[in-house]
Amino acid sequence: MNRGWNALGDGRTGAGAGMRELVFRLAVAALVAALWLMPGAAGAQASTHADPLAFDPAVQDGLTHFYNLDYDGAMERFRHVIQVHPEEPLAYALALQVAVFRELYHQDLLDTTYYAHNSFLTTKRQVNIDDRSRKDIESLTQNAEAASERRIKAEPHDKNAVKNALFARGFALGLHAAFITLADHSYFTAAREGLSARNDSEAVLKIDPAYADADMAVGLQQFAVASLPRLLRMAIGIAGLGGNKEKGLALLRSASEKGVVTNIDSRTALSLFLRHDGRYAEALAVQHGLAQEFPHNYLFRLEEANLAKDEGNGPLAISIYTEVISDASKRGYFTGARLQMAYFGLADTERGQNDLADAAKGYVESAKQPNNSDWLRKRAELNAGEMFDLLHDRAAAIKQYQKAAAAGGDQSKADEARKYLRAPYNDVQHPLRWNHPR
């Protein structure tokens, strides 16, 4: 289906580094917020300005599990929703979001520190997705699109049916775009899908201006496009597409306050964009509300600590990281908490506070977590080695560098580790810094 975008091809074949980066800016800024998409229909009252399926008790139950990062439990429930409602586009989109987030979480790709800094634009991280997960994600995306198009074709004059189908299709495309951006670095395709999600949402709002859930996709794109100079927009064929950061933030606030399916999504996106622009106090206010509302959501709690760290409030960040790690030790408090992210953030903060001994311990703890990704483990080992060098414990530093430089798996930090095997890390040449995963 032609959704009005130039056929630019894929960023993995033939495009130069500069083109990949500018498309990355568009795709990532608009789509990475979808990493945190968590529909927020729980407790809402039925409305003609949202898909009725969002209020189904079975959907509510699935969302409760999803809010608490119980991806397997959520998927089981949404599979059942699909069985009961096989022609509902939103049913497939809800199952798709679980499949996408479950895989990204297992890859340590849901720590937003990875996206809040410019290093994300130049880091091509290798991500290995097993065939079963990839096929499931592709199948659910195709089913969501197909069900949406069948609904539109069958009931073209039913405005409620059409707007709900358009919204579900846009929602699914945004999720898929986020997945292929992060898993495959497929920037051009992701940008096309992101624009399609915006187009579908704008079409929804033409039918029903009060359909606040649709404000989210438009707000994401408004903010993203506003971050690109006009000449760069022309270079990738979107010169006519407008963007305005404040309008984008306003639309996200609207969806946060009035949306049924996307109110939590929009709050997390709002927090991320405010963080990206250095508006940490505003971002912290949003994120603190999410953490208070969902105290058993490990990612929301972790993000509050990340924001305090980025704001430069080391003591507060350390307090929150420590509390999160402590809560994780309580039986059943979090589902599948990936503590490597919390230990890494804690170590980063202690490093910024010049507490080198504790920072070294934190990086070592991060590296040895049993469910760690090789990508994050080797970064933690490299950083631990740096700390030991600064502490003049060369033997311990060498041990960490050898692990970071080991053959196999992620090799993006291997050269740096080998450099420090030859000569110690030096804080004169390399001053202490917020050493986010890069």
225 domain-assigned: yes
Query: CA 259, CA 236: separation in Å to the nearest integer?
Result: 32
pLDDT score for 15: 41
Residues in the chain: 438
199 domain-assigned: yes
pTM: predicted TM-score of the whole model, two decimal places: 0.81
Rama region for 111: left / alpha / beta (φ>0; ψ in -120 to 50; rest): beta
Overall domain count for the chain: 1
- Please give the full DSSP string across 379-426, using - where no structure is assigned: HHHHHHHHHHHHTT-HHHHHHHHHHHT-SSS--TTHHHHHHHHHS---
Alpha-helix runs per DSSP H in 68-154:
71-84, 89-106, 119-122, 131-154
Percent of the chain with pLDDT over 90: 60
Query: CA 387, CA 404: separation in Å to the nearest integer?
Result: 14
Instruction: Please compute the mean of the pLDDT values over residues 408-431 and round it to a whole number.
Output: 86
Query: CA 79, CA 342: separation in Å to the nearest integer?
Result: 32
61 domain-assigned: yes
pLDDT score for 41: 42
pLDDT score for 363: 98
74 domain-assigned: yes
384 domain-assigned: no
223 domain-assigned: yes
91 domain-assigned: yes
Percent of the chain with pLDDT over 70: 80
More confident residue, 10 or 335: 335
Query: CA 346, CA 391: separation in Å to the nearest integer?
Result: 18
Q: Cβ(305)–Cβ(314) under 8 Å?
A: no
More confident residue, 128 or 157: 157
Q: How confident is the model at residue 231 (pLDDT cuts 50, 70, 90)?
A: low
297 domain-assigned: no
H/E stretch holding 67 reads: helix 57-67
3-state DSSP assignment of residue 361: helix
pLDDT score for 19: 40
Instruction: Please compute the mean of the pLDDT values over residues 38-55 and round it to a whole number.
Output: 66
Give the residue numbers spanning the domain of 203: 1-277
Instruction: Please compute the mean of the pLDDT values over residues 281-302 and round it to a whole number.
Output: 94
Integer CA distances (angstroms), 166 to 9, 40, 81, 148, 312, in order: 25, 19, 19, 7, 42
Q: How confident is the model at residue 303 (pLDDT cuts 50, 70, 90)?
A: very high
Query: CA 324, CA 337: separation in Å to the nearest integer?
Result: 10
Instruction: Please compute the mean of the pLDDT values over residues 333-354 and round it to a whole number.
Output: 95
Burial class (CB in 10 A: 0-12, 13-18, 19+), 295: middle
